[in-house]
Amino acid sequence: MIRMETSNGNDTIMDMFEKGKVLKICAPMVRYSKLAFRSLVRKYDCDICFSPMIVASDFMRSVKARDSEFTTNESDRPLIVQFAAPDAQTLADAACVVAPFSDGVDLNCGCPQRWAMSAGFGACLINKPELVKDMVRHVRNQVDNPNYTASIKIRIHKDLRQTVDLCQKAESAGVSWITVHGRTAEERHQPVNYDAIKTIKDSVSIPVIANGDIKHLRDVESTYQLTGVDGVMAARGLLTNPAMFSGYEDTPLECIWDWVDIAIEQGTQFTCFHHHLIYMLERVSSQPERKVFNSLTSTSAVIDYLQNTYGTVHDLGA
């Protein structure tokens, strides 16, 4: 791989925050926020993309893990690589490996899954503010690029004072920005706590990103109005409609064919290629159509189905 600048010329991530617009960010999604999908959402007004969460110790242990977990290209910027790590040196080592090919690393302090918590990372880190401070400091001290960001993605505590304390401690250690998923580690589908996100935003002077239930472009503005955040991050909303940040209510046909082109060009595995399309077609297809589409087993069958059911972009006069 070659060393690359950010795609905004010489703009760093922190410069982007300075411009005063609410940044639109693609969340880290296991199996899904890989290079091909990042390439797609970048075509539709996504400002920053995250890699899927990578377990830092596995990443450092084997070349095979590095090659399968982290692929990028020259246009895949700005890019944040998210790691799960239980200690400062493992995180810093991983950050040093990806630093030439990315714009920052993010520490996962929000994954609520039991396996992550029992391994000492994910959401259990929100209860270890001193360790999080140490981890941020290690990245800051060991990556030699001063513009490289070290951020954290957290969930909230039932007692919000603990969350504010965590964020202020991280800020004192030099954290670049914080993404807040407005739910506790125990919550799944409960409403997002926007008041909590606003309280955190008001308690620190670094950029704060809101995460949770962003399903349409209008949610970006309403979340900003409720919280005053510097950016919003979407996960499921982008899977269902990768063109969401461009203002489309549902996935446009053009976006579906863009995905086909990108996935074929990048050699995306069929299962991943197909799964993304299942998400994209969820709101625009009927139950019988979905049943047929979900049972397809080859790329050529998928392309035939899309052409026969929806037509090509050229049919739109595009």
pLDDT, block means (10 residues), the chain with 318 residues: 43 92 97 97 98 96 90 97 97 97 97 89 95 98 97 97 98 98 92 97 98 96 97 98 97 97 97 98 93 97 95 63
- Which of 213, 242, 271 is the C-terminal boundary of a domain? 242
Q: Is 82 one of the annotated binding-site residues?
A: yes
Same domain, 46 and 149: yes
Catalytic residue chosen out of the listed positions 26, 46, 49, 111: 111
Percent of the chain predicted with pLDDT > 70? 95
Q: Is 94 one of the annotated binding-site residues?
A: no
Q: What integer pLDDT is reported at residue 316 of this predicted model?
A: 52
Q: Is 29 one of the annotated binding-site residues?
A: yes
Q: What integer pLDDT is reported at residue 65 of this predicted model?
A: 85
Q: In 3D, which of 144, 250, 133, 160 has the Cα closest to residue 152?
A: 133
Q: 3-class DSSP state for residue 252?
A: coil
Same domain, 259 and 235: no
Q: 3-class DSSP state for residue 229?
A: coil
Q: What integer pLDDT is reported at residue 4 of this predicted model?
A: 40
Q: What integer pLDDT is reported at residue 26 of this predicted model?
A: 98
d(CA 82, CA 41): 18
Same domain, 165 and 297: no
Residue with structure tokens 């972009």? 313
Q: Is 181 one of the annotated binding-site residues?
A: yes
Annotated catalytic residue 109: no
What is the pTM assigned to this prediction? 0.94
d(CA 174, CA 135): 10
| Residue numbers of the domain that contains 149 | 18-242
Same domain, 117 and 177: yes
Does 248 map to a domain? no
Q: Is 236 one of the annotated binding-site residues?
A: yes
Q: What integer pLDDT is reported at residue 313 of this predicted model?
A: 67
Q: What integer pLDDT is reported at residue 270 of this predicted model?
A: 98
Q: Give CA 223 to chain center in angstroms.
A: 17
Task: Mark out the alpha helices in 80-206 (DSSP H runs).
Answer: 88-98, 114-118, 129-142, 160-172, 194-203
